[in-house]
Structure 1
Amino acid sequence: MRRVEHVMGFPVSLRIDDTVVPEGTGDAVFAWLREVDERFSPFEDGSEVSRHGRGELTADELSADLVEVLGICERYRVATGGAFDVRLPGRSLDPCAVVKGWSVQRAADLLDRAGIRRFCLNAGGDVVVSGGPWRIGVRHPEAADRLCAVLDLTEGAVATSARYERGDHILDGRTGRPVTGLDSLTVVAPTLTEADTVATAAFALGAEGVEWAAAQHGCEVFAVLPGGRVLRTDGFPTTGPAAA
């Protein structure tokens, strides 16, 4: 199966290499992601996230899913000393940094429960795979047509936070200012919930975030600093070029 749809503001591609795919599997994956977009988008006035952010829903009225997401947000806020924060002063509640990886990992779990053993689910460059090996390229932060690393991944997830697509959009919650101490930071972890959240939280910490991310359980890190300096952990599964 090969399928691509535009969901949550970016392309999501699903590739399944199993010889037998239960009917409706792809439909279920993309229906779930569309549901998440409707419920948790901070850009939709009627979403659960927006209503909670405006104080229209109390903590007792939230869905179990949103309680879980906000719990993850709070855990990483504490772990980074406030650098990662989805409740910045003067801004609306925005848990997108957690929702993306969490929801796509949920979709991968759906595939696993359906008995799918070999798949690659790519959500705007953040990827969760099973039944590899899969080769995954990490975009060069200064050139869209080049790779700075190629990963060989059998199971797990990889996510990158960077400045090249959306500019200086990640803010340090401690100062409210854009983070410029990193060009890109890629994390490999057992789940995309972890990989995506750790990558964003570490990026919010700036250059010190590389060491912080490397200390997170099960995480391997590849970072490109301004000027082209590369830092990576020994266990980062690079099989191709690994220089900026």
Structure 2
Amino acid sequence: MPAPGWARVLRRGSDRLLFDLGGGPRPLKFAWIVNAQKAGSFAFYGALMAWYAPQVPQATSHAAWIYLALHGSYGLCWLLKDLCFPDPNWQRRITLPSSVVALVGLGLYWSFGWLLISGVSQPRYPLPDGAWFCLCVSLCLLGSVLMIAADAQKFYTLRLRRGLIDDGVFRYVRHPNYLGEMLVYASFALLVWHWFPVVVLAVVWLGLFAPNMAFKEASLSRYPQWAAYRRRSWCLVPGLL
């Protein structure tokens, strides 16, 4: 089963931007840029808080400290994951213009915390602050565990046998790694409570995640057990999607 036309168009565009833009030498791996951004999150947000603290009371608010802990710790978890079971999809070498695109794109993720720490976002949460913080922390923890468990299961299972993985965290959800990543960044966006993270995440999820999932399902459809697996599982969220 080939990937749908919309997914092929979006995949060609994203591959061009992220890996092949401008042509020429490919001195860097995409993974190096991603890991550098993840590794720097704790220091970046800590520096932002120190810079804005004399100017903006919100820079050292409970929300800012929680954001630092969530986004910074998630970056360290990502590095640990990449050290133990690196994703081969991130090991491609990319052109210098694509490196700039990757840096800018990942910088947009860092802008989430800046909105909160700088006071640009003045969140008025739908629930009491404590309840909202509880929701954000819970989503981030659940998403991190789900993403790491899915990547670990995929990495070690495929080292032993090739084929369709339809058990463990993949039993009822076909893309638990994407779901985990989405829960993590949704927790950041909810904590910031500003329209800009919603726009960035919508572009990434629809322009990058959606075609990647479509291509993965097209590839998995070659296995005989695919039809039965697809009938009893969900793409992302059991009972909804």
Calculate the TM-score normalised by the size of structure 1: 0.26
**Structure whose residues are more often strand by fraction:** 1
Greater RCO (CA < 8 Å, at least 6 residues apart): 2
Larger Rg: 1 or 2?
2
**Structure whose residues are more often helix by fraction:** 2
Calculate the TM-score normalised by the size of structure 2: 0.26
